[in-house]
Structure formats: C-alpha cells, structure tokens
Amino acid sequence: MTDSKYWFPAKRYGWGWGPPTSWHGWLVVICWCIAFFVGAVRFRPRHFTLFWFGAAMVILLLAICYLKGEPPKWRWGDAKK
C-alpha cells in the first residue's frame, strides 16, 4: 500500500481507475459490493426498480472514484519504458 493521497490510481492504459491502493479504497469497494448484492436480491422481482438501483450504485461508485482517485485522462502506458 502506498501513502498517496489518492484511494484509486489511474489505469496505465485507457481511461479510468485501477484497483484501490489504500485501505480506504478497499473499504469503499467492499461496502459497495455488499450493498449492490443485497440490493440485487431485494429488488430482483421488480426488474425496473433493480435497473434504477444498479444505475444509482454505479453512479455512486464513479463519483467516489472521481473525487478520491487520480484525475482521469486517456493514458497510453508508461512513457519511461
């Protein structure tokens, strides 16, 4: 684990974030997964409600990654190699 101020590092290739590098990030991912699966079981009979719940959960995770991760931009890999 690094001492970076970012919970989610940028991906080396492409746009977005990679796996967490701090315990804060891992806690967010684990809690998000638990909440997502509990909600999926709870809303399974109502497909339309499950869709909106899933969309809200994805938006929530993206917002957390955007706020606590490295600034997103398109990356082509490590230029030093």
For 9-35, the pLDDT digits (tens) are: 988 888 889 899 999 999 999 999 999
Residue whose entry in the numeric block shows the structure tokens 């809200």: 56
For 32-61, the pLDDT digits (tens) are: 999 999 998 888 777 788 889 999 999 999
Record the tokens describing residue 29, joined without a space.
């991912």
User: Is the model's pTM score more than 0.85?
Assistant: no
| Residue 53: Cβ within 10 Å count | 17
Q: Using H for helix, E for strand and C for coil, what is the string for 26-59?
A: HHHHHHHHHHHHHHHHHHCCCHHHHHHHHHHHHH
